[in-house]
Structure 1
Amino acid sequence: MTTVLDILDKGTAYLEKRGIEEARRNMQMLVAHQLGCSRVELYVRFDHPIDDSDLEPLRIALKKRGEGIPIQHLLGTVYFRNHEFKTDARGLIPRPETEELAEWLAKHVTLSEGGRILDMGCGSGVLGLSLAADFPKAEVTLADVSPDALALARENAEFTELSVSFLQSDLFSEIPEDQSFDLIVANLPYVPDAEELAPEVRHDPALALFGGADGMDLIRRFIPEAAKRLAPGGWLALEIGHDQSVETEKLLHAASLTDVLTLKDLSGIPRFPIAKRGSV
């Protein structure tokens, strides 16, 4: 008879041998997901036997995790800003850093009723949909060049029951020139093409990761166009690579934006350039 504790111990040892970080936590998540309970509830089930019908799916998931398949893809969902979202290989796995940006915007940005928000390069939609929840009276548009990413974002909108609009667009190519926004956010591809990625990150779509020789290709295109689409007093917020803040701030100043600063993430890395368009 295989108990919950047996499978946790054996699975943890298997993942540790394959170099998976936080092996115990990963195994707890896989078992809890298969049994339909929380990780905390596992503690009171240690002596419970696991049915054969649950063992085989667990073995398959464990093997995939040992091969480097992200835990988020195996579980199929991820929590971001108190909401549960679907996640798979069609979009970038939501990062904790992006959640930090969403939290800052929710605390510091004020929008009038009927304000407009644009999430450019929305991927799975977690950032734009979180802002839709934080600003329920705003009109929110999620845009991406990838039809696969947009399909996932649409599923997440249905999953969370949040009302937003979608647009397939290469940056601003499909957005009318006279349309303006009070807040534009973007987590665009910023990884240099030659950078070596961690095995798990390689499961993210390349289209969502790589941004040219120095990672800045799309950011250079995006900022001048975004500045023209901001309403007076509007906000622009980005997520960038660890060494891109100096050039990004120069681009923001060159686009005649004001109040330029780059917020640091919890690791102390300058990660989130913020700027505004003047009120006049």
Structure 2
Amino acid sequence: MAGVADRLRAAAAVLGEVSGTPGLDAELLLAHALGISRNELLLRQRDLAVPAAFDGLIERRLAGEPVAYITGSRDFWTISLRVTPDVLIPRPDSETLIEAAVEHFGDRAPETILDLGTGSGALLLAALDQWPGARGLGVDISPAALAVARDNAGRLGLADRAAFRIGDWAEGIGERFDLILVNPPYIARDAPLSGDVLHEPEGALFAGAQGLDDYRRIAPQLPRLLRPDGLAAVEIGYDQREEVGAIFAAEGLEAGVRRDLAGHDRCLAVRPSPGQESQG
């Protein structure tokens, strides 16, 4: 009978047909089948046996199902989240928004945080974990997504600092916030897609013919929501810097860019213009 290392190599060879990270996928799926962490799997390979359930998990991955949906979890920033097909899978690219916020606040800490389109709660809960004195509000139009976010807040011990409400972006919200996090849909309706994204909720992905529709709705709301020294960290597609930046500039907002680990434009760091700060 093949050992763990051999089975992992064989699984990775097969998964190379559908995944850009076949070795990692195989390790995560085997760890899930064993009910242990990936780190424990790697440390204890010689002591473990491969369960029968592993083959079924590999078949699901070969059919295109994302690893995060198979295992029901995904690590993000400093936290681990439960994910379901009702929410977008948190990605390392989105951690760029938290990095932008950490840079902006420096030795300070935001007291109030708003997460528009919260999904799994990834951005809000990562920020609350980063700043233990902060409180936050997550808004989403999907009741199913909000159920996942609330569950994650409870699992992480953050339910007393994280509130969630159903809503259409920031409509009906009157208070101001130190930090606003936004990862809106930004894929053009006719863009060719492949891989994991094919299994994710369409409402979290597509935003009109150019992928800009939701930015046009969000930008006019930000001036009344941001505190004078606050920051809105907004995720963008790698080729949308100029178009989205112009949308925010039309509302009197300044937007710098932060790149992700691959060097792609990924986050607009949006601030009130000096004129708006003096009015605030």
Q: TM-score normalised to the size of structure 2?
A: 0.89
Amino acid at match of 2:277: S
Q: Call closer, same or farther: CA 1:59–1:274 in 2, change over 3 Å.
A: same
Alpha-carbon distance in structure 1 between the residues aligned to 2:22 and 2:232: 39
Q: Call closer, same or farther: CA 1:204–1:111 in 2, change over 3 Å.
A: farther
Give SS of 1:218's match: helix
The residue number in structure 1 matching 2:33 is 34
After superposition, where does 1:243-258 map in structure 2 within 5 Å? 243-258=239-254
Alpha-carbon distance in structure 2 between the residues aligned to 1:74 and 1:147: 22
Number of matched residues?
Answer: 273
Contact 1:168 1:174 in 2 (8 A): no
The answer to whether 1:267 aligns with 2:266 is: no
Unaligned runs of 5+ in 2: none
Contact 1:2 1:50 in 2 (8 A): no
Alpha-carbon distance in structure 2 between the residues aligned to 1:111 and 1:234: 14
Amino acid at match of 1:182: D
The answer to whether 1:167 aligns with 2:162 is: no
User: 1:92-143: per-residue Cα shift (whole Å, max 9, x none)?
Assistant: 1011111122123123226978832100011111101111112222220000
The residue number in structure 2 matching 1:62 is 58
User: 1:181-221: per-residue Cα shift (whole Å, max 9, x none)?
Assistant: 12111000000000111131111100000000000001011
Alpha-carbon distance in structure 1 between the residues aligned to 2:186 and 2:205: 6
Alpha-carbon distance in structure 1 between the residues aligned to 2:123 and 2:157: 15
Deviation at 1:72, TM superposition (A): 1.1
The residue number in structure 2 matching 1:95 is 91
The residue number in structure 2 matching 1:8 is 8
Give the aligned CA root-mean-square deviation in angstroms. 2.1
User: 1:236-273: per-residue Cα shift (whole Å, max 9, x none)?
Assistant: 11001122111222222221224x21122222222211
Which residue, 139, 142, 145 being the options, matches 1:149? Answer: 145
Identity of aligned residues (%): 34
Deviation at 1:49, TM superposition (A): 6.3
Unaligned runs of 5+ in 1: none
Q: Call closer, same or farther: CA 1:111–1:145 in 2, change over 3 Å.
A: farther
Contact 2:143 2:166 in 1 (8 A): yes
Deviation at 1:35, TM superposition (A): 1.8
Amino acid at match of 2:15: L
The answer to whether 1:279 aligns with 2:274 is: no
